[in-house]
Structures are given as C-alpha cells and as structure tokens.
Amino acid sequence: MGGTFDPIHHGHLVAASEVADRYALDEVVFVPTGQPWQKTEHAVTPAEDRYLMTVIATASNPRFSVSRVDVDRVGPTYTVDTLRELRDQYGEKTELFFITGADALSKILSWKDADQLFELAHFVGVTRPGFALTDAHLPADVVSLVQVPAMAISSTDCRRRVASGQPVWYLVPDGVVQYITKRHLYR
C-alpha cells in the first residue's frame, strides 16, 4: 500500500487490514512516498517523519511492515518504480497486490507507465467516503474493487485539525498523535 502517509490514519489501516483478510495476504507492506509528484501544491512533511509515523502505526501488527524503497530512492516517486523494486526484492514467485483508495484508483491511468503497472501487480481499489469507486476504463482482470468500512478520514483533514488546535485522537493511532506533538508537525 503506497501513500504519502502525512500522517498515516485509521482509514489507511482499516483498508490494509480488510484487503489482507479478503485476499489472505501474507504481508501488507506500507510504502511511504519519497517526493510525491502529484502533491506539489503544499509542503510535504520530511520523508523520515512520515516513514517513522508509518512504522509507529503498524508496529503492533505482525503482518504489517514498512518499506523504505521510495523514501530512499532519489527523485519523484512513481508507483511503477516502486513495484519493480519490490518485485526484485521479493522475487518472481511472490504475487504482488497494490492497495489503493477510490480517489487514487480513478487516476491510475495517468500514472507513469500505466500499462506496465498491471503486469507488475494486481490492483485492489477500496471504497472511500466522498469518492465514487468507479472501475471505468480499468481492465477488470487486474483491478478488483473491495468495500471497506467507511472511514471519513483524510491526512489533509488531520493536518488542518492539528494546525487549528483540534484533536486528532482516534483518527490516527495514539503513537502517531504523540509523534506529531513531539515533532511539532503541522503547526
């Protein structure tokens, strides 16, 4: 599951958990982006902070792990590069799934080397409040749609809340609330 995770929240975690259960996945690898090429309109928190928040949020789940591939690769993050690197790392025999929310799914075809993406992984689109889960124009044999419990949470809203002094308790894991406070993020 790729994402900016700025910060990681319970919407991400529920989606990952549901898809892992549905497809009996051995592991869910969270992959925080390096420099997100589609998010140039606002300053993104340093990758190291986003990586650490993702580690904190996933630490208690033995099936969740975090990969540094995108954080460590210089230049903009493209999912096709992420998947190629994970493919090399995990070997040809490992089946890869890419978990993505309805909003990102509808943009997949605009991603770099979109045609090759589908050869590298099976794409799983999850429902997200406020976004239609439309599989229009996406090849059905490589993209599946999964209904997950509706979590009307976004990182954007979490950042705004912190900036205006509102709580993010229960929207993000406790350790992430504490990390945000400790590092003075989003103020």
> Interface with ligand ATP by CB under 6 A: which residues?
3-6, 11-12, 15, 100-101, 103-104, 126, 128, 151, 153-156
CB atoms within 10 A of CB 117: 21
Minimum CB distance to ligand ATP smaller for 27 or for 39: 39
What does the alpha-carbon distance between residue 127 and residue 170 come to, in Å, rounded to a whole number? 20
CB of 39 to ligand ATP, least distance (A): 7
User: Please, what is the minimum distance in Å from the beta carbon of residue 75 to ligand ATP?
Assistant: 19
- For 61, other C-beta atoms within 10 Å of its C-beta total 13
> Nearest residue to ligand ATP, using CB?
101
Q: Residue 87: which of 55, 56, 119 has the closest Cα?
A: 119
Q: Is the dihedral of CA 139, 144, 150, 155 positive or negative?
A: negative
**Bond into 7 cis (ω within 30):** yes
Residue 7: other Cβ atoms inside 10 A: 27
Amino acid at 132: A
| In contact, 171 and 153? CB cutoff 8 Å | yes
Q: How far is the CB of 133 from ligand ATP (least distance, A)?
A: 10
**Nearer of residues 6 and 49 to ligand ATP, judged by Cβ:** 6
Of residues 85 and 146, the one with the C-beta less far from ligand ATP: 146
The least CB distance from residue 131 to ligand ATP, in Å, is 8
Q: Are 136 and 144 in contact (CB under 8 A)?
A: no
Smallest gap from Cβ 16 to ligand ATP, in A, equals 9
